[in-house]
Amino acid sequence: MADIVAPAYRTIPIIPALIPGAMEGKGPFVANEKINEALGFPGQLVEDWHDKAIAKMGELLSKYRSFRVFMDACVHCGACTDKCHYFIGTQDPKNMPVARQDLMRSVYRRYFTLPGKLFPKLVGARDLTREVLDEWFNYYHQCSECRRCSLFCPYGIDTAEITMAAREILDSIGYGQKYSNEIIGKVHKIGNNLGLPGPALVDTLEGLEEDVKDATGLDVRFPMDVKGAEVLLITPSADFFAEPHIESLIGYAKVFHATGTSWTLSSMASEAGNFGMFIGNYEQLRKIALRIREAALELGVKRIVVGECGHAWRVAYSFWNTLSGVGSGADEVDKFAQMLQKQLDHRYRQPTHICEFTWDKIQQGALKFDKSANDKHIITFHDSCNVARGSRMGDLPGGQFEIPRNIIKAVANNFVEMAPGTTHAQTFCCGGGGGVLTDDLLELRVKGALPRMEVLQQSVDEYGVNFMATICAICKAQFTKVLPIYGFDRKMVGGVHQLVSNAIQLGPK
Amino acid sequence: MSTLFAILFYFATLAFVVGLFYRISVYARTPSPLKIPTTPAPTTTGGVVLRMTREVVFFESLFKSNLWIWGLGMLFHASLALVVLRHLRYFTDPVWGWVVFAQPFGMYAGITMLLGLLGLWARRLLVERIRYISTPSDHLMLVLLIGIAVSGLMMTFVAHTDVIAVKGYFLGLMHFNVQMLPSDLLLGVHLSLVVALLVVFPFSKLLHAPGVFFSPTRNQKDDPREHRHLSAWAAKFESEKN
């Protein structure tokens, strides 16, 4: 992979010219039989894939209003054409959101609309051929489901919904992606995306307790499977051992320690990430989310707190209540949800983001910081796409932007924003989200990071930024890999709770 | 010709109404199993109504994304609204006061509508990205609308038709009583194209008009933690094994 080089920065961020076919190819690795069958998908491409795919498409059209309306509503106005980071980085016209949608829409028109059946050429309709199917596999794995296009569309058409539908169709005919499906298999079998077994986790946590003891002289605990704890922390498994993720895990533990919160991790639900969303499969999405419900019921916790993770927070915030009853406001007769919701303490938001938890405690004056501990850093904040456009924090819309920034400003002295139009709701994806964080898609990841890297470079030149904080495990992993290719130090990226960890005062030593 | 157009208009109106109602009922019937508003999103019903109003009346998202498309789109749609209002005079007797008031605006709106359409077509032809995504039907749709605008403007500014007779014809149609339609080429072209527009509407991208109201990313409240949202097909998983 050494031959992958970073694309040149655009001197003025003009809209790039088209290079048709720039990202043509076979796409990511295809899942093998064993991986697919473990999830209940056909092992390999079925013989009658054509009919099965069209039938599946019809099923999805009847189950998802988003998919149904989005197939009809587009007028090809072109507003989205320059909004996708993958288009900007690759210049492949099929990475323009509308063109990516049209890979599906053209088939929808052919099989599900009268004009497409009568005059396919006129309305851009086409048969589902093997070439089209391969094109789907390739280009629907060049979308990170970041929703930036949906923000700008006059009808709110969200390409993520169409990407999910495409992946769902592909899985249903045995043409799934290795990376996502393999990871989902690990969650079911072992409990987390990284495949870390329970005993290894406990070892890691004990090691962390020793490290923190060496550094602070205090017994900061990292408890596992403690029944009757108040808080169950659900965090991406990368937090347990990957750098810089682990620094944030230490930060969460210190916050719980400093506020005297009894908390626990769960070996059964040792993963916040939910790749079921990436592949658009409701049953997988639900099955993975149910692990958290089971762990909460078994441990008898009162609150569920979620660690720094982007798509995971979207699933937790927006979908958990639906999928597993983790939330509030279920109907009295809704036994399934009430079973859990009776146990949870509804004075708190369910689920709570770790940033909400920390910010509430800061506002209550329960935490003390030595801000100078972060003085070596000039910090900027990268809004993670699915937190920004698929979730919220706090009570007001936009809290997902304010709360992490408020925390950074409370624990550090030097904070600057990156260029407007690339942060808050309009943030660019890191280039690695939504099921593409795999080395077989490294070229795509490097190119997709271009718009973020450009503005990061700007803030480095202008303000001397040397730390980009973010609250997503995928962002952290992606940037760690991609920053050096753009000539930055890989250690520039880190978590918000890493900064909290640096500055927090845990009482007299 | 009067009878032919009468048949065409009855047929087109039927196709338009039935087609549109069918589409809308499909949208309304199809469930939204998950909460997917594009955030930051309003947390209350009132907030959603405001958001939808800003989208539908001011094209808020489009304004944020591309000022050229917004300006031309706004010019076209606002002009079209005025033109349609102006045309109400052919279907009401006596003509409502505010329709009378709108007459001169509607007249000049015909010109701005044409300018908007030509601008949008120019973008489609000249901007590489938009040319790439355009299908023949995208161009034809613009041609159709431009044809309607040009033939209408010609009748307003160049070769007048007998508008009194036209009005009599349409009032007659509304009471299933076919009157004489002036045999005028421009009028024939104008009305034929309008018939085509009505028929095409429920089968084409013109469905963006009803579609926008059903877009879950815009019309959902941001309250998934406070209320449990469950669609019928998703609820079945729970009754199966709890």
In this complex, is the C-beta atom of B162 within 8 Å of any C-beta atom belonging to chain A? no
- Return the residue matching tokens 């002295």: A413
pLDDT score at A509: 43
HSE of A491, CA atoms in CB hemisphere, 13 A: 2
In the beta sheet, which residues pair with residue A30?
A177
Give pLDDT, residue A194.
Answer: 85
As beta bridge partners, residue A415 has A379
Across the interface, whether the CB atoms of A102 and B133 are under 8 A apart is answered yes
Cβ separation of A124 and B137 shorter than 8 Å?
A: yes
Strand partners, A231: A263, A303
Residue keyed to tokens 């199809």:
B30
Per the CB < 8 Å rule, is A331 touching B36? no
**Mean pLDDT lowest among A14-23, A144-153, B132-141, B222-231:** A14-23
B136–chain A nearest CA distance, Å: 5
**Contact (CB, 8 A) for B129 and B144:** no
Name the minimum distance, in Å, from the CA of A292 to any CA of chain B: 15
Q: Which of A156, A322, A351 sits opposite B34 (nearest CB)?
A: A322
CB A325 within 8 A of CB A339: yes
Span B105-120, average pLDDT: 96
Cβ pair A432, A459 in contact under 8 A: no
Residue B1 has pLDDT above 90, yes or no: no
pLDDT for A13 equals 65
Residue A191, pLDDT score: 87
* 3-class SS of residue A461: helix
Question: How close is the nearest chain B Cα to the Cα of A30, in Å?
Answer: 28
Beta-bridge partner residues of B156: none
Q: Do B38 and A150 touch (CB under 8 A)?
A: yes
pLDDT score, position B242? 47
Distance in angstroms (rounded) separating the CA atoms of residues A466 and A493: 9
Residue B53 lies in a domain: yes
Burial class, A38, CB count within 10 angstroms (exposed 0-12 / middle 13-18 / buried 19+): middle
Contact, A251 vs A500, CB < 8 A? Answer: yes
- Does residue A85 have a pLDDT over 90? yes
| Residue A126 near residue A106 (C-beta atoms within 8 A) | yes
pLDDT at B158: 94
DSSP per position, B158-211: TS---HHHHHHHHHHHHTT---PPP--HHHHHHHHHHHHHHHHGGGSGGGHHHH
Residue B22 belongs to some domain of the structure: yes
Architecture of the domain defined by A33-176: Orthogonal Bundle (1.10)
Asked if residue B144 has pLDDT above 80, the reply is yes
CB contact under 8 A, A351 and B207: no
B220-242: pLDDT as tens digits: 999 999 999 999 999 999 875 54
* A217 pLDDT tier (thresholds 50, 70, 90): very high
What is the edge-to-edge ordering of all strands in the sheet holding A379-381? A379-381, A467-470, A493-495
Q: How far is CA A149 from CA A83, A152, A230, B154, B162, in A?
A: 6, 5, 40, 40, 49
- Which of A156, A145, A135, A105 has its CA nearest to residue A280? A145
Which residues, 6+ apart, have CB-to-CB distance to B223 below 8 Å?
Answer: B35, B43
Tell me the three state secondary structure of residue B216.
helix
Average pLDDT, chain B: 95
Give per-residue pLDDT as tens, A133-192: 999 999 999 999 999 999 999 999 999 999 999 999 999 999 999 999 999 999 999 988
- Arithmetic mean of pLDDT, A458-475: 97
Would the CA dihedral through A28, A30, A31, A36 be positive or negative?
positive
Mean of the per-residue pLDDT values for chain A?
96
Q: Which residues of A touch B66 (CB under 8 A)?
A: 78-79, 152
CATH number of the domain within which B85 lies: 1.20.950.20
Residue A122 has pLDDT above 70, yes or no: yes
Given a cut of 60, whether residue A274 has pLDDT beyond it is yes
Minimum distance, in Å, between the CA of residue A139 and any CA atom of chain B: 16
Please indicate, yes or no, if residue B130 is contained in any of the structural domains: yes
Instruction: Tell me the chain A residues in contact with residue B213 when contact means C-beta distances shorter than 8 Å.
Output: none
- The mean pLDDT value for B30-48 works out to 97
pLDDT at A507: 72
β-bridge mates for residue A369, sequence order: A504
- Do the domain assignments include residue B58? yes
Residue B101 within any structural domain of the chain: yes
Number of domains in chain B: 1
What is the extent of the structural domain holding B79?
2-29+38-216
Residue A293 sits at φ, ψ, to 5 deg, of -60, -45
The SS3 call for residue A236 is coil
Q: Which residue is it, tokens 């815009």? A: B218
Backbone φ, ψ for residue A470 (5° rounding): -155, 160
The ipTM estimated for the assembled molecules is 0.95
DSSP code string of A372-430: GGGTT--EEE---HHHHHH---SSSTTHHHHHHHHHHHHH-S-B----TTSSGGGPPP-
Per the CB < 8 A criterion, the answer to whether A17 and A91 are in contact is yes
Asked if A322 lies within 8 A of B43 by C-beta distance, the reply is no
**Is residue A503 within 8 Å of A370, Cβ to Cβ?**
yes
Query: Would you call A11 exposed, middle or buried from its count of C-beta atoms within 10 A (0-12, 13-18, 19+)?
Result: exposed
Q: Which residues of A touch B228 (CB under 8 A)?
A: 321-322, 325, 327, 329-331, 334, 337
Residue A156 CB contacts under 8 Å (≥ 6 apart), including other chains = A150, B38, B55, B61, B212, B215, B216, B217, B218
Give the minimum alpha-carbon distance from A350 to chain B in angstroms, rounded to a whole number.
Answer: 6
CB–CB of B224 and A319 under 8 A? yes
Q: Tell me how far apart the alpha carbons of residues A38 and B80 are, in angstroms, rounded to a whole number.
A: 56
A13, A454 Cβ separation under 8 angstroms:
yes
For the packed helices B2-29 and A65-73, what is the interaxial angle rounded to 10 degrees? 150
B36 touches A at CB < 8 Å: yes
What are A184-200's pLDDT values in tens digits?
999 999 988 888 888 99
The number of CA neighbours under 13 Å toward the Cβ of B191 is: 24
In this structure, how many other beta carbons lie within 10 angstroms of the beta carbon of residue A119? 13
In chain A, domain spans: 33-176, 192-358, 368-505
How many Cα atoms are found within 13 Å in the side-chain-facing hemisphere of B132? 22
Query: Cα-flanking dihedrals φ and ψ of residue A47, to 5°?
Result: -65, -40
Provide, rounded to the nearest whole percent, the portion of chain B with pLDDT above 90: 97
